[in-house]
Amino acid sequence: MAERYSKPDLSIIILNYNVKDLLLDCLKSVYQDQNSKNWQVIVVDNASIDNSVEALKKEYPQVEIIESKENLGFARGNNLGVPKAKADFILFLNPDTKVLDNAISKSLAFLKTDEKIGGLTCKVVLPDGRLDYSCHRGFPTPWNAFAYFSGLSKLFPKSKLFSGYSATYLDVNTIHPVDCGNGTFLMVRKQSGEEINWWSSDYFWNGEDIEFCYNLKEKGWQFYYYPRAQIIHYKGSSSGLWNTGAVKVNKERKLKSAKAGTMAMRIFYKKHFYKKYPPILRDFVLLGINLLEKYRVLKITLS
């Protein structure tokens, strides 16, 4: 009997950075799932200074904790937890989330139905009930990015041509493949993660989830959006860039977050699209990213 349960059904990796109360609430929602007794939960703490680790040891002694001496960012922080994961399936879960109605069990059951599915995300909603758009996206090709930032995707939300990035032409209430979801709730087979060598350390914060899904597709894996499972995301609790966050963030961190976001755009574009387009378009795209960064920084500075 002991041998049967030596390997958990699922390993959950939660990367924490100074969101102690949200982390504890997240874990509470995780352990409300009827199958949680068969899961391994790992929390990687990215050098928090809000007593997250102390509170975690007190409230959830069963959680495995990895303490980083420095803030490694999202990709490297999550990669720190991977070698500890014992299960054949791994869920990367943000601490600023609340899991609803056995969402983890439902997602795992669906992922197991088809060996071609390398990963999935669930329906991620903001506290006001709106869909977190980043859980249901296309890849940010130059055209998709232009249509998104120019507002064409909002003018023609049902057009695949104009809403390729936001993917609003697809029914968010049905199960279907998508290009990518977000790192807020990203469940994968260990096999598929190993094939792409997990999270790319080229990214510090933002963009790594798109890279992850892109690499899965490059290896021939499918990625699914599974709306029958749902979580709430208090988006912006670490970055301060969204008004849905549940933690106040100082201006310095907001500026770092804004710059990290546009840096991620540059990295992804140069890695995957730069050589595929003529020089004039290459420069135009990079100019657009630079202008976007200046706009975001100015907006935060003047706020």
Instruction: Please give the average pLDDT of every successive group of 10 residues along the chain, which has 303 residues.
Output: 68 96 97 95 96 96 96 95 98 97 98 98 95 94 90 95 95 97 96 97 89 97 98 74 56 75 85 84 82 82 81
| Residue 3 pLDDT | 43
Taking each helix axis from N to C end, the angle separating 251-272 and 208-218, rounded to the nearest 10 degrees, works out to 20
* 260 within some domain: yes
* 237 within some domain: no
User: What's this model's pTM, rounded to 2 decimal places?
Assistant: 0.89
* 283 within some domain: yes
* 273 within some domain: yes
* 121 within some domain: no
| Residue 279 pLDDT | 78
| Residue 233 pLDDT | 96
* 261 within some domain: yes
| Residue 21 pLDDT | 94
| Residue 244 pLDDT | 56
Range of the domain at 277: 248-303
* 259 within some domain: yes
* 284 within some domain: yes
Domain count, the chain: 1
